[in-house]
Amino acid sequence: MAMAAAAWLGRDIRDEEISRPAVPGLSETRLGEILRAPFHYAFHGTIKPPFRLAPGVTIDEVAWRLESFAAEWQPFVLPPLSLSYMHGFFCLRPAEPSPHLHILAGRAVEDFDDFRHPPTQEEMAKRRQAGLTPLQEKMLLAWGYPYVMDEFRFHLTLTGSVVDEREKEILRRELQERFPEQMLRDISFAGLALFVETDGRPMRLVDYFAFSHH
């Protein structure tokens, strides 16, 4: 699945660019616009929301903590993933809830919170533009991000915003071909990756930490 996603986006998580096949019905320019955001962030599923480092914290400290955190977990199988159109973009997400994944994400939010620089008022205002529920507002105040804990929804982003019906249908057909159902079954969740984004450059992988097999 990771190889199919890298071929779709035009780069992999290690920041290696890959030639991107054309999509019939979409110009190369338009496809580039649709894929600009997921190309920047690479193919990943967020467990701990992005955060700026608190004063005095280094990325090495985060990596050391993540290594010991990952060693506490064992691999588990995700529910089957399905292609979804959600909040204006296409993504892959579990077809049913995964309690194991939900617990993991909650623990990650809690255990790494001391590394997080509090969001600025501007960042808070930007989050609120989406129109938050009372629970999401509570999460924003507590954890700096509205979609955590009970509001967490794991997904793997495949496009940016697409609202045109013709484009949506073209992309749905194309993505169904590239990510067939059999590819989205029996996927082992076996570790966590640490990514960094600096100076507006594409997000890149720092390191990957496998779960314990004991």
Q: What's the pLDDT at 129? A: 87
- Answer yes or no: is 202 within a domain: yes
What phi and psi values does residue 36 have, to the nearest 5 degrees? -60, -50
- Answer yes or no: is 137 within a domain: no
Q: Mean pLDDT over residues 38-52, rounded? A: 92
- Answer yes or no: is 173 within a domain: yes
Return all residues near 114 (Cβ < 8 A) that are at least 6 apart: 54
- Answer yes or no: is 130 within a domain: no
In the chain, the N- to C-terminal Cα span, in Å, equals 26
Q: What's the pLDDT at 174? A: 96
Q: Mean pLDDT over residues 13-21, rounded? A: 79
Q: What's the pLDDT at 214? A: 63
- Residue 202: pLDDT band with limits 50, 70, 90: confident
Q: Which domain holds residue 36?
A: 2-96+156-210
- Residue 54 · residue 116 · CB < 8 Å: yes
Structure tokens at 90: 């296409």
Q: Mean pLDDT over residues 27-38, rounded? A: 93
Q: Give the mean pLDDT of the chain.
A: 93
Q: Mean pLDDT over residues 76-81, rounded? A: 96
Residue type for 165, please? Answer: E
If you search the block for the tokens 């986006």, which residue do you land on?
9
- Answer yes or no: is 89 within a domain: yes
Looking at the chain, the whole-number percentage of residues with pLDDT higher than 70 is: 100
Q: Mean pLDDT over residues 164-188, rounded? A: 95
Total number of domains in the chain: 1
- Answer yes or no: is 197 within a domain: yes
- Answer yes or no: is 133 within a domain: no
Q: Mean pLDDT over residues 37-59, rounded? A: 93
